Amino acid sequence: MENWARFLEVNAPRILELTIDHAILVSLALAVALLIGIPLGIYLTTNQYLADTVLQIASITLTIPSIALFGVMIPIFSLVNQGIGFVPAFVALVLYAQLPIIRNTYTGIKNVNPEMRDAAIGMGMKTRQRLLRVEIPNALPVIMAGVRTAVVMNIGIAVIAAYIGAGGLGVLITQGISRNDNYLIISGSIAVAILAIIADSILLFIQKRYTKKVVAD
């Protein structure tokens, strides 16, 4: 315990800093993934043929281990001199994050009660109005579930990204391994777990709050 106190006294600022870096990396990747994934998921609901193709690609891509994806990306990005560092990590995180988002946006909207959709069409809503007022609000819980999956997954993957110089909490763990320092490993892991739990809880809170409002309306 005493050792822990001493360790934290020295390292707390650094842990905090790395946690913030970690959160920023994941949040930026999430923001981009949302910008791509949600419109794409919505578009897919209007093009069944493309949807089949994209969802198949998504399910295969999700099976690719993250360390292997990094291994493939480094040579490709080194073509533009960005082989190691923020760029390949960021691109990989965006790629992984948008898969559950696309998938859940698509299934969420597809599963909106067809009668509700018919009613909206019957009222003379245009496609855009129908999407914004009926389909997306009703698909929101499913879409949010996809976002939560993406975030928790990405927080874990970003740890491994430390090996390609992306920074974040993975740095504590990789340093702990090379220096054989359990304090670093444990504090890094706990920080990652806490970050994941907090992120998930915040998203869950947003989801519940927003869904209730929709239902109450």
Partner 1 sequence: MNRKKLIGNIVRYALYAVVAAFFIWAISNSYFDYIFSQSGTFLVLLRQHIVLVLVSSLLAILIAVPAGILITRPKFKRAEWIVSNIANLGQTIPSLAVLALMISFLGIGFQTAVFALFIYSILPIFRNTVAGIDSIDKNMIDAAKGMGMKPHQILFRIELPNSAYSILAGIRTAVVLNIGTAALAYVVGAGGLGVWIFTGINLFDNGFLISGAIPVTLLAIVADFILRRVEYAVVPKGSRRIEKA
- Residues in contact with partner 1 by the rule CB under 8 A: 46-50, 52-54, 57, 60, 63-72, 74-76, 78, 83-84, 152, 155-156, 159-160, 163-164, 170, 173-174, 176-177, 180, 182, 185-186, 188-189, 192-193, 196-197, 200
Residue with Cβ nearer partner 1 (120 or 164)? 164
Residue with Cβ nearer partner 1 (68 or 216)? 68
Residue with Cβ nearer partner 1 (27 or 48)? 48
Q: How far is the CB of 3 from partner 1 (least distance, A)?
A: 14
Furthest C-alpha separation in the chain = 70
Q: How far is the CB of 174 from partner 1 (least distance, A)?
A: 8
75 burial (CB, 10 Å; 0-12 / 13-18 / 19+) is exposed
Residue with Cβ nearer partner 1 (105 or 176)? 176
- Dist CA 77 CA 60 (whole Å): 22
- Dist CA 11 CA 184 (whole Å): 9
Q: How far is the CB of 120 from partner 1 (least distance, A)?
A: 22
Residue with Cβ nearer partner 1 (40 or 137)? 40
Q: How far is the CB of 40 from partner 1 (least distance, A)?
A: 11
Q: How far is the CB of 91 from partner 1 (least distance, A)?
A: 14
Q: How far is the CB of 65 from partner 1 (least distance, A)?
A: 3
Tokens of 12: 């707390």
Residue with Cβ nearer partner 1 (197 or 215)? 197
